[in-house]
Amino acid sequence: MPAADSFDALIIGAGQAGTPLAYALAEAGRRVGFIESDHLGGSCINYGCAPTKALLASAQRAHHVRTAGELGIGAMEPVVDFAAVIARMHLLRQHSRDSLHRKLTEDREGITVIRGRARFTAPHTLRVVLAEGGGEQLLTAPLIFINTGTKAAVPDLPGLLESGYLTSDSLLLNLTEQPEHLIIMGGSYIGVEFGQMFRRLGSRVTIVDTKPRLMAREDPDVSHPLEECLVEAGVELVLGATARRVSRAADGHLTLTVDTKDGERRLRGSHLLVAVGREPNTADLGLEHTGITLDKKGYIEVNEHLQTGTRGVYALGDVKGGPQFTHISYDDYRIVRDALLHGSKRTTEGRDMPYVVFTEPQLGRIGLSKNQAKEKGIPYRVSRLPARTIGRAVQTGETEGFVEVLVGEDDRLLGAAVFCEQGGEIMTMFQLAMAGKLRYQDLQDMILAHPTWAEVLNNAFQRLKPGE
């Protein structure tokens, strides 16, 4: 083994925290070693946000054609060319990969991209098994950033491995044929997004979950309208069900056997998507050679500065646990960048946790829900405005859903749940109001252009009443 190559910083994993950190450190004059064992871009570019939303766009367009008659536009039933839909998704993803590779290898000085799998041999030393040409390379640095992300969790279910299955990762990387009947295990945001998407693309869809309702972390009066939306679209829901086994028949069809409150059910489909959660990529990092500790689920434990138990070693993004969103990973990068390069003391404590479920309508969430406010003993008032009362919704025909806001005793916003067209964008406006500590009266009396979705900020508070 040759002598170790020395860098100012080593980054393991080219995800949404590691990549911009490499840019920032290199621009500050640091010599950066950037290690990636698979595709550049992490989960977002390869099997997360970008490819999923590309497929969603095709599904939404098909739905708009299918429902054009509601607005007086005659249209035939859309013909979904599934191969073309998948090809478009792959093309957009490859464009992102190529752009990222170019930025890392051609447009920036000070970054050395190393393709291979890294493992700690000491607190600040990595051994990388190189992906091309074989061999190994030793690397050292006083700063090391772990950004290895997560992978789809797979349950220990009899017959699953033998029968074959998809995860959100493998589906977006390898699926070529349109499922005739897609069975989805898991009713969280991945399950509901994929469920509506494939139903609109023409597949029969069944969603199975152990919980009695979808999106079980949401308040019931938030998740139930989403369930109704999916059922109306033709998605079958099998809730409060425990999977027992999977089998595959000679004709290629799968059978998922589940126990429900009404007894055993056998669900027969062409494809099975396992969407029951994620697990961290920490198993083969050699962390036993460091002072880094893991929680009971295998995620790296960090403090509010994203520091691990080994001085100079940080964990960023999904691998550290907590909410697994691209925007949270990117904020991890900003916290570390500002601490190392600008002397900032900002931490992960108290930061916003917005998210959007990209069904149609979208579900945008920020701040406290009603249940969370009750659990924390925080007094609140709540107003819930049906989307059908929003002028823009009536004009466009997008009248499903609601806008719900929580207001504290000081008249400032505590949170919002927005389940309607443009739900993510409307939620973000409420987030900005929260960041600016505006009182709800400031929004109620603000002059907003008519007719826009933003006008809901004027009207959202007109039904305020004490929380129960």
The tens digit of pLDDT for each residue in 41-71 reads 888 889 888 899 999 999 999 999 999 999 9
Q: 372 and 423 share a domain?
A: yes
Tokens of 355: 């998210």
Binding positions for FAD are: 53, 318
Q: 31 and 116 share a domain?
A: yes
Whole-angstrom distance, CA of residue 79 vs CA of residue 66: 10
Residue 257 in any domain: the answer is: yes
pLDDT at residue 143 in the model? 98
- Domain containing residue 18: 5-59+80-152+279-342
pLDDT tens digits along 216-250: 999 999 999 999 999 999 999 999 999 999 999 99
| Region 76-99 average pLDDT | 94
Q: What is the pTM of this model?
A: 0.94
pLDDT at residue 283 in the model? 92
CA of 431: how far to CAs of 82, 272, 353, 414, 428, in Å?
Answer: 37, 37, 10, 10, 5
* Residue 318 per-residue DSSP state: G
pLDDT tens digits along 277-291: 999 999 999 999 999
pLDDT at residue 174 in the model? 87
| Region 148-155 average pLDDT | 95
Q: Which of 276, 300, 329 is the last residue of a domain?
A: 276
Helix 82-105 with 18-27: angle, nearest 10 deg: 20
Whole-angstrom distance, CA of residue 272 vs CA of residue 154: 12
**Residue of 41 and 31 predicted with greater confidence:** 31
Helix 82-105 with 49-66: angle, nearest 10 deg: 150
pLDDT at residue 73 in the model? 94
Q: What is the domain count for the chain?
A: 3
* Total residues found in the chain within this entry: 468
Q: How many helices and strands, by DSSP H and E, does the chain display?
A: 14, 24
Q: 45 and 140 share a domain?
A: yes
Q: 208 and 133 share a domain?
A: no
Do 59 and 195 meet the contact criterion of CB atoms below 8 Å apart?
Answer: no
Whole-angstrom distance, CA of residue 299 vs CA of residue 296: 8
Q: 288 and 143 share a domain?
A: yes
Residue 439 in any domain: the answer is: yes
Helix/strand/coil for 97 = helix
Among candidates 354, 386, 427, 355, which has minimal Cα distance to 221? 386
Q: 270 and 283 share a domain?
A: no
The span from the first CA to the last CA of the chain, in angstroms, equals: 67
Among candidates 364, 248, 349, which has minimal Cα distance to 305? 349
pLDDT at residue 133 in the model? 75
Residue 70 in any domain: the answer is: no
95 counts as catalytic: no
Residue 71 in any domain: the answer is: no
pLDDT at residue 213 in the model? 96
Query: Among the options 124, 289, 342, 450, which is catalytic?
Result: 450
Average pLDDT, the chain: 94
Half-sphere exposure of 148 toward its Cβ, with a 13 Å CA cutoff?
Answer: 22
**Residue 3 pLDDT > 80, yes or no?**
no
Whole-angstrom distance, CA of residue 360 vs CA of residue 226: 9
Residue 348 in any domain: the answer is: no
**Largest distance between two CA atoms of the chain:** 73
Residue 65 in any domain: the answer is: no
* Residue 307 per-residue DSSP state: B
Q: Which of 296, 315, 342 is the last residue of a domain?
A: 342
State which amino acid sits at residue 101. H
Q: Which of 243, 276, 309 is the last residue of a domain?
A: 276
**Residue 386 pLDDT > 60, yes or no?**
yes
Q: How confident is the model at residue 2 (pLDDT cuts 50, 70, 90)?
A: low
pLDDT at residue 173 in the model? 86
Q: 170 and 184 share a domain?
A: yes
- What is the domain-level CATH number for residue 249? 3.50.50.60
pLDDT tens digits along 302-328: 999 999 999 999 999 999 998 889 999
Residue 35 in any domain: the answer is: yes
* Residue 288 per-residue DSSP state: G
